[in-house]
Structure 1
């Protein structure tokens, strides 16, 4: 008899966690497991890539309202949800004032914490296992019936301000907590040492076949023409990804006389800031924003070097995808960088400061022998982590 698994996430926008979720769903043995996937909203470019074997549960208006602008949710009659979100917003603001810290993590946590009691049960099923793939995890903890419950950590907790007591109550409701790397685990346990016995390491699962097939879907030579050395970075335009510093780094490299283009794929709230920095450093001929792309893999295939210049990461999915496509990778020395790659073997870790990053990246661009050595080493590695799904089966009891 098949076991029943419930999975919760927000939507299927382009992002590392969403692509990791697809990798997990692609790896499940559907002869043994039935998967119900519940999303707050049926939106996002990756929605159509959900495997056909997955049962995508219908949207529920109250849950969709959690992601809507509050004015829209109010027009749709979701008064209780809006009131809960307002309470959460006020309490998050008070927390920030009291602790002299601006924390989007607290705001997101509270937005779910003070709404969840106004939401209906998702359904009346009892699952063998319920997985909350993206924080906050209140919905799975309170609105799903399951014999076992698992929550995922995708974030480096050393980089964010959280209400520890509030989140401790949330995490404690789960039987297991999945961490995607040892560094993510260490940062998490510094804030929540009481939860050590619940932690299980399961690295992001990626489909090598899918990535390779998608990388051949179309030609990008009109957007990334031959001639110059092509650098590529992918991610949301937000503080974590550090794209606002790319124009200065690029200007320092360009001053060394190196002919290159640095392409950025993504979208987000920092787009205006990044564009203003491009103008400030007069680097628009070198730093080129390609925008939001449903399929980033042909661009990865076309680049010469993949660069992740982040301030912080949990474990960057785009880096792994670049390695799957045998691209030399350079990442900044963020807290979890050592668990992202083997420095000097299948990638390079460079300083976080702009001058140090520029110098090291320039040296790497010019060192073709090192790039070729990394490529040869990557061909010996399996970055898909397909067997990690077995750890989920073990938690469930198989």
Structure 2
């Protein structure tokens, strides 16, 4: 008999986690496993990319509320959840102020699940394995009848702030923990060493053939190439973690130094208004362009001259590997997990995490043809495909 597997996430909006989920679903052997997919919201640009294998379960209304404004939750009549969100927001903000935390977002999400948990329904079906693909994992920990429970980590734990006691309580309810990189695992285990025995690494599954095929689908209309112009590209959500404020300032410095650069950012997120204001203040509206979300970012990566990831922290930045697969010279900042993504001077340049570091890295690739060609050649010669990572999951399922 086929083993019954449940995989859960929030939705399929454009993002690294969601792209990784599609990669995983595309590689499961559905002749051996019966897979149900629980998306709390049936929305997102990646929905059309769902393979035929998994069965998409119906939405459960209370689980659709977790990214809704509180007023909308109340308007829809979910009063206990709305009230729990108000309390969670208050407690998370107070906790953040007491600990001098600038961004209490993770705390608010954490308290939100804890407070709302008593009001959330359970799934009736019994599974052999329940997999939570997106943190937090209260759903698979408490709302699913499963013989084994697995939770994924996509985040660098050295750069997020949480209530450690609540987080430990959640992880203790899982049988296995999967991190998407060794460094991601290390930063997690530095905070939760008691979880070491049940933590392992399964990398995001990438298919170079698929990425190259998608890159050839079209030519981006936004990117106009002219002789002498250098096209820089970053793909990612518009959040503090991605360091795009540093990228904007780096763009200004490159232009001051006489480099004819155009910097494009594919992505969306909560800091868009702030970033646009900074772009305007530095008079970069014609040079640093936020071009929004793209279902297929690969033609944009293919069209750039240099791919730049100016992040403050990352779990596993899938876009870096995708740029390398497409043979692009890559500049990344030295975030804690950077060395698990690339080797400095071999298939990327790893710079300091500041404006000067980003500027110096880009300048090096513009001015040094040999270095640029070396990074391109090394990236194209490497086999970044890792479809065999799925075997690790099969072993875990048992």
Q: TM-score range by the shorter chain?
A: over 0.9
Q: How far apart, in 1, do the equivalents of 2:223 and 2:112 lie?
A: 40
Contact kept in structure 2, 1:19 and 1:206, CA below 8 Å: no
- Matched residue, 2:245: 244
- Matched residue, 1:165: 165
Unaligned runs of at least 5 residues, structure 1: none
| Pairing 1:299-378 to 2, within 5 Å after superposition | 299-378=300-379
Q: How far apart, in 1, do the equivalents of 2:365 and 2:298 lie?
A: 23
- Matched residue, 2:259: 258
Q: How far apart, in 1, do the equivalents of 2:290 and 2:87 lie?
A: 38
Residue 221 of structure 1 deviates from its aligned partner by: 4.7
Residue 213 of structure 1 deviates from its aligned partner by: 2.0
Q: How far apart, in 2, do the equivalents of 1:276 and 1:380 lie?
A: 41
Q: Structure 1 residues 283, 98: closer, same or farther in 2, change over 3 A?
A: closer
Residue 368 of structure 1 deviates from its aligned partner by: 2.0
Q: Deviations over 1:173-207 (max 9, x none)?
A: 11111111121111111111111111111111123
Q: How far apart, in 2, do the equivalents of 1:356 and 1:208 lie?
A: 30
Contact kept in structure 2, 1:312 and 1:334, CA below 8 Å: yes
Residue 290 of structure 1 deviates from its aligned partner by: 1.2
Task: State the TM-score, normalizing by the size of structure 1.
Answer: 0.96
Matched, 1:75 2:69: no
Q: Secondary structure at the match of 2:157?
A: coil
Q: How far apart, in 1, do the equivalents of 2:278 and 2:156 lie?
A: 27
Consecutive aligned runs of 4 or more in structure 1 exceeding 4 Å deviation: none
Q: Secondary structure at the match of 1:307?
A: strand
- Matched residue, 2:188: 188
| Pairing 1:113-192 to 2, within 5 Å after superposition | 113-122=114-123, 124-192=124-192
Q: In the comparison of the two structures, how many residue pairs are matched?
A: 396
Q: Secondary structure at the match of 1:355?
A: helix
Q: Deviations over 1:101-137 (max 9, x none)?
A: 2421111111111112211112x22111111011111
Q: Secondary structure at the match of 1:45?
A: coil
Q: How far apart, in 1, do the equivalents of 2:72 and 2:222 lie?
A: 40
Q: How far apart, in 1, do the equivalents of 2:241 and 2:101 lie?
A: 17
User: CA RMSD of the aligned region, Å?
Assistant: 1.4
Q: Structure 1 residues 116, 212: closer, same or farther in 2, change over 3 A?
A: same
Contact kept in structure 2, 1:180 and 1:204, CA below 8 Å: yes
Contact kept in structure 1, 2:263 and 2:288, CA below 8 Å: yes
Q: How far apart, in 2, do the equivalents of 1:222 and 1:167 lie?
A: 43
Q: Secondary structure at the match of 2:381?
A: coil
- Matched residue, 1:15: 15
Q: Deviations over 1:122-179 (max 9, x none)?
A: 2x22111111011111011011111111101111111111110110000111111111
